[in-house]
Chains A and B, each alone.
Chain A
Amino acid sequence: MLIKNPKSSELKESAVTCEKVYRDRRALLKHMGFLGAGALLTSATKAHAGIFDLFGKEKRTVFSTEPLSYSQNAYSKNAFSNETILNNTISNNIDSKQVLTPEAKVISHNNFYEFGAKKQQPAELSQNFKVKPWQLTISGEVEKPITLDVDDLFNHFDLEERIYRLRCVEAWSMVIPWIGFPLAKLLKKASPNSRAKYVAFETLYDPKQMPGQASRRLGGGISYPYVEGLRIDEAMNPLTLMSVGLYGKTLPPQNGAPIRLVVPWKYGFKSIKSIVGIKLVEKKPPTTWNLLASNEYGFYANVNPQVDHPRWSQASERRITTGGLFARNRIQTLPFNGYSEQVADMYKNMNLRKFF
């Protein structure tokens, strides 16, 4: 009898069902631009006009990603399947079936304001991004400061695949097979000292390469460089991942090449992209969205269906998978995005309404 043992690589094959979306992307963006530019007020729909290049020639370089070798991680698999499915009026089918978000959607629907604040813009405007050379420094309250170049990111640590839910603060979510290594491994290499209470992260600041940093209109009005932070115990949690790839390949720029953070129990904006600096610090570091609107975005930003965003509910979310307009994809949001078992202990004496 033939017993098939599916490998991680086979998983991704089965999930890529939406290549059509990816291939047709240019065409459909044009269709969208058609109304924006043609039908109505052109001056007010500049963003559409930008992609309405019906008469322009298609010349588009695509950032080339490379295949990675990695191992499937048992822990992350457990973390995914251990979740409790709630009994509720909203369908939880999608979540219980663990449907991956198709790769084409993962790499074309991004919040990465450095390359434009609209969802499709990062994929459009980032393809010439250079990840070589790259330097990531780990400094601050450490015994041994480290500087890693781009090759070190892929060679210094064993890479593993982790299938995580990503819950955006805007109440949509994806399921993504990341590739990377635990942040804890990296930090331990630098030997944090006893004053290291928090970890501060910083994205590359390069307005020449990142048009959103050069233009307020594109960049959505947040301040740059983008900064984020974690408490040291959060940073050391085994779930916290430094990701260098997804779907078996290195990260494309729109997803945060060459290296990004993935903190699956927090809202997506905590998972900072294209990191150049990690600094261990004694005091709670500033974080970008909190600086912009502290009543809407907290430092912790743990996924919490009980605590709404001031302008919308966080009780449920729409899971982005395959299926068009009629996909019944609204599901209940889980506390800590379904990772309570691994992380809830860190917050047991905290008022999560206050520290949202």
Chain B
Amino acid sequence: MAMASLFIKVPTKYKIFILKSLIHFFALLPLINLYYLAVNDNLGADPVEAVIHFTGIGAFNLLLLTLAVSPLAKRFKFGYFMNVRRLLGLYAFAYALCHLFNFVAFDLQFNFNLLVDEIIKRPYITIGLTAFILLTALAVTSVNKIRRRMGKSWQKLHNLNYLIILLVAVHFYWSVKSEIIEPGIYILITLFLLLFRVKFKQFRVHKNKSSSIKNVGNGH
């Protein structure tokens, strides 16, 4: 308890620093560790499958975390949470990039004919790639300069995050052989976080009408 009350007194910029350090630690280190083990053939019998699954599920987890940031910040009044959302989003993009690279480089081994074939023929790959392209757009426009220049259209573009996470959920569900429980849990968490968003939006509209308070924490 003493620790907790101590932490509350820490200036916000240090809190952000600590939070960002934690994110770097938990997102970057496992990735380095993963590739170190995989390159040395220490990641089970099929390191290719292992790195694909690991980075794929990692990207999904990070996307869910970015989606959880603003509800958490609002619920517990941790305003500084909002300052790490971009970092989480960028790590989600980094994991997704690794996921795609693993598939192309280590699974298909740069057989581009096969790649094109798979993208066209396999709906779950088409969907996954669509999600990745959209996520790339978000990552690129996350730079402050571009964000400012984009004005209002920036928020519109970044609302695509909701579409992206749905695509990712379908991509995961569609890719498994018979197990539905794990993808099912993921879909539930996704829907839960999206539902939050809908509620918040409705609530905000209502509030704006009645008291015309300027909307401060725009919900992503």
Chain A contact residues, CB within 8 Å of chain B: 18, 20-21, 24-25, 28-29, 31-32, 34-36, 38-41, 43-47, 89-90, 101, 104-106, 108-109, 113, 117, 119-120, 170, 172, 216-217, 220-222, 292-293, 308, 311-313, 315-316, 318, 320, 322-330
Collect the chain A residues with CB atoms within 8 Å of residue B111's CB. Answer: 89-90, 316, 330
A-B contacts, 20 listed (Cβ < 8 Å): A28-B37, A32-B34, A32-B43, A35-B33, A39-B26, A39-B27, A39-B61, A40-B26, A44-B61, A44-B182, A44-B186, A106-B45, A119-B44, A217-B181, A222-B178, A311-B175, A318-B46, A318-B107, A320-B45, A325-B51
Residue B149 at the A interface, CB < 8 A?
no
The reply to whether B44 and A41 contact each other, CB–CB distance below 8 Å, is no
Collect the chain B residues with CB atoms within 8 Å of residue A108's CB. Answer: 44-45
> How far, in angstroms, from A89 to B39 measured CA to CA in the complex?
24
Collect the chain B residues with CB atoms within 8 Å of residue A323's CB. Answer: 41
Collect the chain B residues with CB atoms within 8 Å of residue A324's CB. Answer: 38-43, 47
> How far, in angstroms, from A286 to B185 measured CA to CA in the complex?
31
Collect the chain B residues with CB atoms within 8 Å of residue A104's CB. Answer: 45
Q: Contacts A104-B45, A221-B179 given; 14 further ones with Cβ under 8 A? A: A21-B45, A25-B44, A44-B185, A44-B186, A108-B45, A117-B178, A172-B46, A311-B174, A316-B111, A318-B46, A324-B43, A325-B43, A325-B47, A325-B51
The reply to whether A35 and B30 contact each other, CB–CB distance below 8 Å, is yes
Among residues of A, the one whose C-beta sits closest to the C-beta of B43 is A28
Q: Which of A89, A172, A216, A322 contacts B41 (CB 8 A)?
A: A322
Collect the chain A residues with CB atoms within 8 Å of residue B26's CB. Answer: 35, 38-40
Collect the chain B residues with CB atoms within 8 Å of residue A120's CB. Answer: 44
Q: Which of A40, A89, A318, A322 contacts B62 (CB 8 A)?
A: A40
The reply to whether A109 and B114 contact each other, CB–CB distance below 8 Å, is no
Residue B58 at the A interface, CB < 8 A?
yes
Collect the chain A residues with CB atoms within 8 Å of residue B107's CB. Answer: 318, 330
Q: Say how far A156's CB is from chain B's closest CB, in angstroms.
A: 33
The reply to whether A105 and B114 contact each other, CB–CB distance below 8 Å, is no
> How far, in angstroms, from A9 to B37 measured CA to CA in the complex?
31
Q: Which of B61, B174, B175 contacts A41 (CB 8 A)?
A: B61
The reply to whether A24 and B42 contact each other, CB–CB distance below 8 Å, is yes
The reply to whether B37 and A313 contact each other, CB–CB distance below 8 Å, is no
Collect the chain A residues with CB atoms within 8 Å of residue B41's CB. Answer: 18, 21, 322-325, 327
The answer to whether A170 and B62 touch (CB under 8 A), given A45-B57, A324-B47, is: no
Q: Say how far B62's CB is from chain A's closest CB, in angstroms.
A: 7
Residue B17 at the A interface, CB < 8 A?
no
Collect the chain A residues with CB atoms within 8 Å of residue B195's CB. Answer: none
> How far, in angstroms, from A105 to B61 measured CA to CA in the complex?
29
> How far, in angstroms, from A112 to B123 measured CA to CA in the complex?
27
Collect the chain A residues with CB atoms within 8 Å of residue B175's CB. Answer: 311
> How far, in angstroms, from A21 to B42 measured CA to CA in the complex?
6
How many residues of B are in contact with the other chain, CB < 8 A?
52
Chain B contact residues, CB within 8 Å of chain A: 26-27, 30, 33-35, 37-51, 54, 57-58, 61-62, 64-65, 106-109, 111, 113-114, 117-118, 121-124, 174-175, 177-182, 185-186, 189
The reply to whether B178 and A292 contact each other, CB–CB distance below 8 Å, is yes
Q: Which of B48, B62, B177 contacts A220 (CB 8 A)?
A: B177
Q: How many A-B residue pairs have CB under 8 A?
A: 143
Collect the chain A residues with CB atoms within 8 Å of residue B114's CB. Answer: 313, 315-316
Q: Which of A35, A40, A172, A325 contacts B35 (CB 8 A)?
A: A325
The reply to whether B122 and A312 contact each other, CB–CB distance below 8 Å, is yes
> How far, in angstroms, from A25 to B50 measured CA to CA in the complex?
13
Most chain B CB within a 10 A radius of its CB, from A28, A119, A170, A325 = A325
Q: Which of A36, A216, A312, A320 contacts B181 (CB 8 A)?
A: A216
> How far, in angstroms, from A350 to B170 measured CA to CA in the complex?
36
Collect the chain B residues with CB atoms within 8 Å of residue A318's CB. Answer: 46, 48, 107
Collect the chain B residues with CB atoms within 8 Å of residue A330's CB. Answer: 107-109, 111
The reply to whether A172 and B49 contact each other, CB–CB distance below 8 Å, is yes
> How far, in angstroms, from A217 to B121 measured CA to CA in the complex?
30
Q: Say how far B54's CB is from chain A's closest CB, in angstroms.
A: 7
> How far, in angstroms, from A222 to B181 measured CA to CA in the complex?
12
Collect the chain B residues with CB atoms within 8 Å of residue A325's CB. Answer: 35, 38-39, 41, 43, 47-48, 51, 106
The reply to whether A35 and B117 contact each other, CB–CB distance below 8 Å, is no
Q: Say how far A283's CB is from chain B's closest CB, in angstroms.
A: 26
> How far, in angstroms, from A29 to B49 measured CA to CA in the complex?
14
Q: Which of B43, B64, B113, B118 contacts A312 (CB 8 A)?
A: B118
> How far, in angstroms, from A229 to B213 measured CA to CA in the complex?
70
Collect the chain B residues with CB atoms within 8 Å of residue A32's CB. Answer: 34, 43, 50, 54
